[in-house]
Amino acid sequence: MIAAFKPRGYSECIVVAGGEDRRTKKLTAAMRCMCPLYDTNRQGWIELQPMSVARLGHGVVAAEGFLFVLGGTNENNTVLDSGEKYDPDSNSWSPVPPMLQARQNFGVVELDGLIYALGGENEDTALTTVEVFDPHFSCWKMQSSMTMIRKVTKTKTGLTAKAIGSDRNRDCWGQTE
């Protein structure tokens, strides 16, 4: 279905993956895509192959022609270290190696072909840790930790990834690393 729009990656499309169904309040593994640049008349959502695991509080990032969905919580409210990648050419998912730490409500960003998972929280601890995934070697490595706890939002400007966020006890939205 997505092939009809012929996007060259996800910069031309809006993709949503997983989350919580508004009506049932249950987690979903659904994935949908809208490509307004390629379908200006329709402006509708296309159903894509669902993820293998329903997730909430997960990270989503496009890198190397794939869409990566990482971490979050499952239907049992267990924080996940697992991830999967979506191939738009085959409309299929495949697993990626688990992160070194289970995490939810974290930031994830692609920078120079590498995927960074920043902060967030696991079952009982807010995290300052940062790990990086290399899609070419299919492996995770720990990086230097951030200086404070961040349930992170993220941005990428130029050649820099910036972490900005807060924890429940401190408001630190104005500080970046």
Is residue 176 situated within a structural domain? Answer: no
Distance CA 143, CA 138 (A): 16
Is residue 174 situated within a structural domain? Answer: no
Is residue 127 situated within a structural domain? Answer: yes
Distance CA 23, CA 142 (A): 39
pTM of the model: 0.78
Q: How many domains does the chain have?
A: 1
List the pLDDT tens digit at each of the 177 positions of the chain: 344 444 444 456 778 888 888 888 888 888 887 766 555 566 677 888 999 999 999 999 989 989 999 999 999 999 999 999 999 889 999 999 999 999 999 989 999 999 999 999 999 999 999 999 999 999 999 999 988 776 655 545 454 455 444 444 444 434 445
Is residue 110 situated within a structural domain? Answer: yes
Distance CA 28, CA 123 (A): 20
Is residue 177 situated within a structural domain? Answer: no
Distance CA 1, CA 143 (A): 38
Is residue 151 situated within a structural domain? Answer: yes
Domain extent, residue 71, equals 2-166
Is residue 175 situated within a structural domain? Answer: no
3 state SS for 26-84: CECCCEEEECCCCCCCCCCCEEECCCCCCCECCEEEEECCEEEEECCECCCCCECCCEE
42-to-35, 46, 85 alpha-carbon distances in Å: 9, 10, 27
Instruction: Identify the CATH number of the domain in which residue 83 sits.
Output: 2.120.10.80
